[in-house]
């Protein structure tokens, strides 16, 4: 049986590395989506809306049978969304505000298979407790890890782990950017079972 083509609707190197762990061939494509939050939109609602918008935008470009994965992550500090800093000054300001605080990282994933009429979205939330940080620690970390493309300005898979007191999660891949437990569950529901597909090879 021919399998649908798998597409990751993202050019994030973190999500690409995570999806590659499943050992299935896939393409990547950048979705054309406006990521501006809507007035009054909560961080988890924003993550879910953008994940679906990304998956649907990419799926709409392909008339063939495809399974498209879209994902988005929003850091949440006391209900306020914290995005990617983009530069050193914004990253410093984020870490100053977050140090000693508890944050929630909402990582949403959407899987779309238009030929099967399938579209579903799940949001996985990870709670992160940051320890108190000195100015020198913040500057040293930012200089060494340059996490300017990461929501919340810290890479838990790298030196960012030194900034934390605890991570509470049901899926260790979620904080990195793509919750693989939820992703593979949605893929199965869409008719693309990873282990069954690998067995065919």
- The residues near 181 (Cβ < 8 Å, ≥ 6 apart) are 124, 170, 171, 173
* Cα 147 from Cα 164, distance rounded (Å): 15
- Give the HSE-up count for residue 58: Cα atoms under 13 Å, Cβ half-sphere: 29
Angle made by CA atoms 87, 90, 93, in degrees to the nearest 5: 145
Residue by residue, DSSP assigns 112-168 as: EEGGGTEEEEEEEEEEEEEPP--HHHHHHHHHHH--TTSTTS--TTTGGGGGEEEEE
Catalytic, 64? Answer no
Sequence-distant (≥ 6) Cβ neighbours of residue 17 within 8 angstroms? none
Catalytic choice (27, 32, 64, 72): 72
Point out the residues that are catalytic.
72
């Amino acid at each position: 049986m021919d399998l649908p083509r798998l597409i990751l609707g993202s050019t994030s190197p973190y999500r690409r590395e995570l999806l590659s762990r499943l050992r299935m061939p896939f393409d990547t494509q950048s979705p054309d989506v406006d990521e501006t939050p809507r007035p009054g939109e909560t961080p988890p609602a924003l993550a879910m809306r953008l994940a679906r918008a990304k998956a649907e935008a990419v799926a709409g470009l392909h008339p063939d049978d495809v399974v498209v994965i879209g994902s988005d992550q929003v850091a949440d500090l006391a209900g306020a969304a914290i995005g990617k800093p983009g530069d050193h000054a914004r990253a410093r300001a984020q870490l100053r505000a977050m140090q000693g605080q508890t944050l929630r990282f909402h990582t949403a994933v959407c899987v779309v298979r238009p030929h099967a009429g399938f579209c579903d979205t799940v949001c996985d939330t990870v709670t992160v407790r940051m320890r108190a940080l000195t100015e020198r620690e913040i500057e040293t970390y930012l200089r060494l890890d340059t996490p300017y493309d990461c929501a919340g300005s810290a890479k838990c898979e790298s030196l960012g782990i030194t900034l934390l007191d605890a991570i509470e999660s049901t899926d260790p891949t979620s904080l990195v950017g793509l919750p693989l437990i939820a992703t593979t569950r949605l893929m199965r529901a869409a008719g693309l079972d990873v282990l069954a597909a690998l067995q065919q090879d």
